[in-house]
Amino acid sequence: MHNNRTTITQFLIEEQRHIQGATGDFTALLNDIVTACKVISNLVNYGALVGVLGSADTQNVQGESQKKLDVISNEVFLKSNEWAGHVSAMASEEMEDIYPIPEQYPRGKYLLLFDPLDGSSNIDINVSVGTIFSILRGPEGLTKPTVADFLQPGVKQVCAGYTLYGPSTMMVLTTGSGVNGFTLDQNIGEFILSHPNLRIAPDSQEFAINVSNMRFWKSPIKRYIDECLAGKDGVRGKDFNMRWIASMVAEVHRILTRGGVFMYPLDSKNQDQGGRLRLMYEANPMSFIIEQAGGMSTTGHERIMEIQPTSVHQRVPVILGSKNEVERIIAYHLTEN
Ligand code: AFP
């Protein structure tokens, strides 16, 4: 049972050996993130039994009501990553301002961004939720981190990952040389390499979009979905399936596993905010993972990872997944007004 199973710790240390001049800082930071995700997994799994479900009766910076687990998961991430000296500051969906590492701890060269519990509107109905994280390098010799230090395009990420709290707890991450998936062995409390070198099928017959927003869609999206719905009798010549879990981590994981396309596009309802999903700690980390697995990620008009951020909580349209489907949607954005 335990023969030749690679733990995430072993995997990260072996990866580190290929990096010239690696100090072990990055590997140690990732291990602290792994610990935070194990703690959140435990809390999510216990749910009502430990009184962590329901609303916290507070709002986050997005003006969205926070679940108790949103607030608790945020605290878990801060406490797990503030003390070791690998990070100089953190940013979270659940906090308005950045979180400079407290004076009593050493500061390190990385910046950590995260959505501690994405899809949390699902938590009270016992549907999969997840954690999304992104690691940037801070400017050389950074001592007093500011918001400006975080405003780096997605191509500058040194690592991106998510943890899916589903039927099994899985962590998927990339450091720029492919995408690997690890399953938590609850008996020994270790993430085990279970899905090496994940790749996205370039073609798909499955799309994910919240169809209740149809009346707000712009014509490129309307055309794409209409053609999917027309099925094999239409121009696509094949039938399509639809999924919508309302948990981006679960949608992206399905796409990594069996292909597909996920869309939260700009529409007439969200265009004043610039879209629904957040660039720095949802769209960018997920785009890094999708691209590293051979997929594509766009706003419809530009590659998400090339956007120059203007604020930590900035929102963007997101269309990501199987390369050939995303390319078709980009083409429709060029031709449809
Ligand atoms: P919550 O974290 O507020 O549940 O939002 C989840 C999310 O950011 C993303 O994970 C989903 O894909 C998307 O929002 C669902 O949006 P709708 O609730 O509008 O379908």
According to DSSP, the β-strands at 315-316 and 277-278 are antiparallel
Q: Give pLDDT, residue 67.
A: 73
Reply yes or no on whether the pLDDT at 49 is more than 80. Answer: no
pLDDT in tens, 301-331: 999 999 999 999 999 999 999 999 999 999 9
pLDDT in tens, 287-309: 999 999 999 999 999 999 999 99
Does this model's pTM top 0.85? My answer is: yes
Reply yes or no on whether the pLDDT at 260 is more than 50. Answer: yes
When pLDDT is averaged across residues 273-295 and rounded to a whole number, the result is 98
- The CATH class for the domain spanning 206-334 reads alpha beta
pLDDT in tens, 63-75: 777 778 899 999 9
Q: What spacing in Å lies between the alpha carbon of 89 and ligand 1's midpoint?
A: 26
pLDDT band at 3 (very low <50, low <70, confident <90, very high): low
Q: What spacing in Å lies between the alpha carbon of 139 and ligand 1's midpoint?
A: 32
Domain ranges of the chain: 8-195, 206-334
Q: Decide: 298 in ligand 1 pocket, CB within 6 A.
A: no
Q: What spacing in Å lies between the alpha carbon of 273 and ligand 1's midpoint?
A: 15
3-class SS at 230?
A: helix
Lowest mean pLDDT among 55-64, 133-142, 277-286: 55-64
Residues at the annotated binding site for substrate?
118-121, 210
Q: Give pLDDT, residue 157.
A: 98
Residues at the annotated binding site?
93, 115, 117-121, 210, 282
Q: Specify the ligand 1 atom closest to the Cα of 121.
A: 4
pLDDT in tens, 7-29: 999 999 888 888 787 788 899 99
When pLDDT is averaged across residues 77-105 and rounded to a whole number, the result is 96
Q: Across the beta sheet with 110-118, what order do the strands follow?
A: 99-100, 87-92, 110-118, 129-137, 159-165, 169-174, 179-185, 190-195
Q: Decide: 119 in ligand 1 pocket, CB within 6 A.
A: yes
Domain 8-195 has CATH 3.40.50.1820: no
Q: How many whole angstroms separate alpha carbon 136 and alpha carbon 6? A: 26
pLDDT band at 1 (very low <50, low <70, confident <90, very high): very low
Specify the long-range contacts of residues 78-87, CB closer than 8 Å, at least 24 apart. Answer: 80/32, 80/33, 80/35, 80/36, 80/39, 81/29, 81/32, 81/33, 81/36, 81/112, 84/28, 84/29, 84/32, 84/108, 86/25, 86/26, 86/28, 86/29, 86/32, 86/110, 87/29, 87/111, 87/112
